[in-house]
Amino acid sequence: MKQGLILLFFLIFFSTTFAQNGSVVNSSAEKDKIFGTEKPQVKKTTISSELKAKVLKINRKKSNEIISVKAYRKSLQIKVKTVKLC
């Protein structure tokens, strides 16, 4: 009985260690395909001169009743994209 259990243990042990030794290929070409080394294109949007003039006019038009220019822009629903430099 003991010998049967020992034999069974060794068969299971060696079969699991053999199954884990898969051939692993670490080539950079395969990694490039998987992860993709290409950087995404960043689109630069330019504000038209008409919109710039409108924003500047809003800045000059600020009155005491308006809390801030930002709130005034929101009330007119003008969307201005701001670029933050890090």
Q: What does the pLDDT read at residue 61?
A: 61
The one-digit pLDDT tens for each residue of the chain (86 residues) are 888 888 888 888 777 766 555 555 555 656 656 665 566 676 666 667 777 777 777 766 665 455 666 777 777 776 666 666 66
pLDDT on residue 64: 47
Q: State the pLDDT at residue 13.
A: 78
- First CA to last CA distance, the chain: 72
- Is this prediction's pTM over 0.75? no
Q: Parse the chain into domains and list their residue ranges.
A: 46-81
- Contact residues for 75 (Cβ-Cβ < 8 A; gap 6+): none
